Amino acid sequence: KDSWLDTLIRDKKTPEPFQDVSQGLKKLYRTKLFPLEDTYQFHDFHSPSLEDADFDNKPMVLLVGQYSTGKTTFIRHLMEQDFPGMRIGPEPTTDSFIAVMHGDQDGMIPGNALVVDPKKPFRKLNAFGNAFLNRFMCAQMPNPVLESISIIDTPGILSGEKQRISRGYDFAAVLEWFAERVDRIILLFDAHKLDISDEFSEVIRALKNHEDKMRVVLNKADQINTQQLMRVYGALMWSLGKIINTPEVARVYIGSFWAQPLLIPDNRKLFEAEEQDLFQDIQGLPRNAAIRKLNDLIKRARLAKVHAYIIISLKKEMPSVFGKENKKKELIANLGETYLKIEREHQISPGDFPKLKKMQDLLAGHDFSKFPTMKPKLLEAVDDMLANDIARLMTLVRQEEAAMPSQAVHGGAFEGTMSGPFGHGYGEGAGEGIDELEWVVARDKPSYDEIFYTLSPINGKVSGAAAKKEMVKSKLPNTVLGKIWKLADVDKDGYLDDEEFALANHLIRVKLEGHELPGKLPEHLVPPSKRHLEIDMGD
């Protein structure tokens, strides 16, 4: 173990530049955090050690939900392609964890083979034993969506009588293992049958530490009418609030996530907007992957530090010869007091501590007298990592992001709404009339002209003051009206002629109907008499 300390001392003197974020994270983990974890038996208590594959793998999306909420169908919808081993039905059909990943040809890799592959980030799942590994597989296929992300399909969470039959492995613990390593957790609910079973509640609680990764999808929302949907949405929020037990509410996406016609099309616009938001969230994962890995490493380092302080504190309290067993029982019973002591002594937030009950259960199986004592250098190395190295890596993350701005998920369902007439919001708001030959404002221009001529135009133009009197009648705030004025005064002469005035009124209508204003005036909205100006101005 001395070699670690030598390395730490050497590193402290001359911080080496990192080639890239992934390499930097690996180096920090191996040289600074792993020694602390290893010494204080962190891996026995909390989470297995990290491997190189954990830092190199593509962003992963974990899908969790009760059976028949549409998890497997959701994956099929994203990829627009069946995947090997896929089974869909109203009963609990997916009875395995399936990692859907990119491969040159279609194929299945069984769990036992998967956990010995050093290139895949699943080696540590070995600890969950054969009952789990027989229910774990990887479906590989060439699909453009999978070039940027991997998707984990999970067994449907059971409800009622079914949940009493044991799975043979710790389902919540496996999900928690995945939750630590994925970039996004999507909880699926069925709007048609919104019951949250005991097993699902337990799973959601197990994922509580990863709320920042969690998104909620209320699926099959086209099977009920608007009034029922409002009630279901309210009930879902209330139930989730009780389970997660936090004042903040998770973001819920409402829709019908498959490629079939909507049963009740009343809320089509809402579903389109929600699907678009969710797709954008998933598409941003590759760009934010480095930040997520950095964030997870910081979380892990904080927990490892707290864990070390707990072990050190317990070791210090142990008698050297007699009464070890009784003292151990007493220390476990009073672990809450140890937490408070460490909290005060080291100024650590209560949120950084492991769950008390779980820690007490785990400690019962350990021999306290074998715990290591205080090793300040190991703790200093982690403090140094958090204080200095992370800041250096953060700069590198920003540089990498700037160098690869177009890193986004593509292919499958992500292509359908990118552009063309079925793109989200196409032909609406400021986009209305985009593919019409006539100037779209001309339709309502006669009614705008009537107002225009009551404002006493001089040389065919009205002044800013005169236009303002009319425009404020819309009750829109000055910041919005100022933007509309800028867009409508195409020739930038400080006055509005009849076409520009009509355009200003058209943009006011767009805003009042709830659409966003464009940053720059789109070509199809430029008044016909001003189109030559656009060319002259080099736009």
According to the model, what pLDDT value does residue 539 have?
A: 45
According to the model, what pLDDT value does residue 461 have?
A: 93
Beta-strand pair 150-153/461-463:
unpaired
CA pair distance 309, 139, nearest whole angstrom: 42
pTM tops 0.95, yes or no? no
pLDDT in tens, the chain (539 residues): 456 656 655 555 556 667 778 888 889 999 999 999 999 999 888 888 888 888 888 899 999 988 878 888 899 888 888 888 887 666 555 578 999 999 998 999 999 999 988 888 898 898 888 989 999 999 999 999 998 899 999 988 876 555 445 678 888 888 889 998 899 999 999 888 877 878 788 888 888 778 888 899 999 888 889 899 899 888 888 888 877 766 666 788 998 888 788 888 888 888 888 888 898 889 888 888 888 888 889 989 999 999 999 999 988 888 877 778 888 888 889 989 999 999 999 888 888 888 888 898 888 888 888 888 889 899 999 999 988 888 888 888 888 777 765 667 777 777 765 555 556 566 677 778 787 888 999 999 999 999 999 998 999 999 999 999 999 999 999 999 999 999 999 998 999 999 999 999 999 999 998 888 888 898 899 998 888 775 444 44
Q: Which two tokens stand for residue 381?
A: 């190395």
According to DSSP, residue 262 is labeled P
CATH number for the domain running over 60-284? 3.40.50.300
According to the model, what pLDDT value does residue 536 have?
A: 43
Residue 417 in contact with residue 423, Cβ under 8 Å? yes
Closest CA to 169 of 113, 211, 128, 112: 128
Closest CA to 181 of 303, 324, 292, 263: 292
Containing 140, the helix (H) or strand (E) segment is strand 136-141
The pair phi, psi for residue 222, each rounded to 5°, is: -80, 0
Residue 133 in contact with residue 126, Cβ under 8 Å? yes
Residue 361 in contact with residue 255, Cβ under 8 Å? no
Helix ranges (DSSP H) in 478-527: 478-488, 498-512
Q: Which two tokens stand for residue 466?
A: 């005169």
Could you check whether 18-53+291-403 and 60-284 share the same CATH topology?
no
Residue 96 in contact with residue 83, Cβ under 8 Å? no
Closest CA to 289 of 404, 411, 209, 144: 404
According to the model, what pLDDT value does residue 309 have?
A: 92
Q: Give SS3 for 214.
A: strand
Residue 225 in contact with residue 266, Cβ under 8 Å? yes
CA pair distance 414, 282, nearest whole angstrom: 10
CA pair distance 309, 298, nearest whole angstrom: 17
Residues in CB range of 396: below 8 A, 6 or more apart: 18, 20, 21, 24
* Edge-to-edge order in the sheet of strand 107-110: 107-110, 136-141, 97-102, 150-153, 60-65, 184-190, 214-219, 252-254
CA pair distance 47, 50, nearest whole angstrom: 9
CATH topology for 18-53+291-403?
Answer: Topoisomerase; domain 3 (1.10.268)
Q: Give SS3 for 232.
A: helix
498-512 and 464-471 helices, crossing angle to 10°: 30
Q: Which two tokens stand for residue 110?
A: 């069984």
Q: Give SS3 for 189.
A: strand
- In angstroms, the Cα distances linking 191 to 75, 225, 276, 531, 533 are 18, 11, 19, 50, 53
The pair phi, psi for residue 190, each rounded to 5°, is: -100, 120
Handedness of CA 462, 463, 466, 469 (dihedral sign): positive
2-13 and 376-384 helices, crossing angle to 10°: 40
Q: Where are the domains of the chain?
A: 18-53+291-403, 60-284, 429-525
Calculate Rg over the CA atoms of the chain. 30
CA pair distance 481, 487, nearest whole angstrom: 10
CATH number for the domain running over 429-525? 1.10.238.10
C-alpha neighbours within 13 Å on the C-beta side of residue 538: 0
Helix ranges (DSSP H) in 29-155: 34-39, 42-45, 52-56, 71-79, 111-114, 129-133
